[in-house]
Amino acid sequence: MSLGDLPTGEDKRVRVQDMFDRIAPKYDALNRVMSVGMDQRWRRRALDKIGVGEGDLVVDLACGTGDFCELVEERGAEVVGVDFALQMLKQGRTRGLDFRSVQGDGEWLPFRTASVDVVTCGFALRNFVSLKGVLAEIARIVRPGGRVALIDVDRPAWGPIRAAHSLYFDRIVPLVGGLVSDKKAYAYLPQSTAYLPPPEELKEMLAAAGFLEVERESLFLGSAQILTGVRGPLTPVGGGVE
């Protein structure tokens, strides 16, 4: 599916929220099966890369049912989860997780400027209406010297691996997801990779938002990626220092 065939603007916002509310009850189990358990390993890798630990205040954006939040708390850091889909947050409570959470949109985060140490986000970049707006908002709330770690899917570059990945991700995942949960939702998830900019453009967007030391790590033969960065100095209002 091309980007022109996918929802945009307010239509995307409404459809994504509705979709994740619908699939919340079986979301975790399907994630584990479809990623062969790799999704949690990738989250741990992301936290290792930015050194999350005691004393950090972490905001997990698009937290879902709390996978990242649980791993952050295991490291002794404080975490607040933010998600647009209320049913995802409620599903997290059924897992016995007790992290602080708030229903909210990534483009309008309810945190003061430069008030948090870390922002994480797992597998949600392609679901935002304005990725540029979300990155700007992340940069606003992270203090100078704070860190960011973003994970999302990717498409392998090498032909044979790309073909095998496409067979699994574009055909098997929607089939299994449709049988167990929601056919339309699990058809959309592979198609939504069309929203993701190319890797170098993603890095440039993160740098343009105000992050330094931007790095990208390719995972599992190119099927996923981690983007990390360190928040640079805040830009003075008015463009200069008086």
Domain for residue 237, yes or no?
A: no
The reply to whether 201 falls in a domain is yes
Quote the percentage of the chain above a pLDDT of 90: 79
State which residues form the domain around 75: 3-230
How many domains, in total, are found in the chain?
1
> 10 Å Cβ neighbour count for 95?
12
pLDDT band at 4 (very low <50, low <70, confident <90, very high): low
**pTM greater than the 0.95 cutoff:** no
- 129's enclosing H/E stretch is none
In a domain, 194, yes or no: yes
pLDDT surpasses 60 at 177: yes
Pick the residue with more confidence: 48 or 28? 48
Residue 112 lies in a domain: yes
Any domain includes 34: yes
Question: Residue 212 falls within a domain, yes or no?
Answer: yes
Per 3-state DSSP, the chain is made up of helix, strand and coil in percentages (nearest 5) of 50, 20, 30
Classify residue 240: in a domain, yes or no.
no
Each residue's pLDDT tens digit, 7-38: 999 999 999 999 999 999 888 878 887 787 79
Phi (first) and psi of residue 215, to 5 degrees = -130, 150
Residue 237 confidence (pLDDT): 43
What's the CATH number where 188 sits?
A: 3.40.50.150
Residue 236 lies in a domain: no
Longest CA–CA span in the chain (Å) reads 62
Strand intervals (E) in the chain: 57-61, 78-83, 100-103, 116-122, 142-153, 211-219, 224-231
pLDDT value at position 3? 67
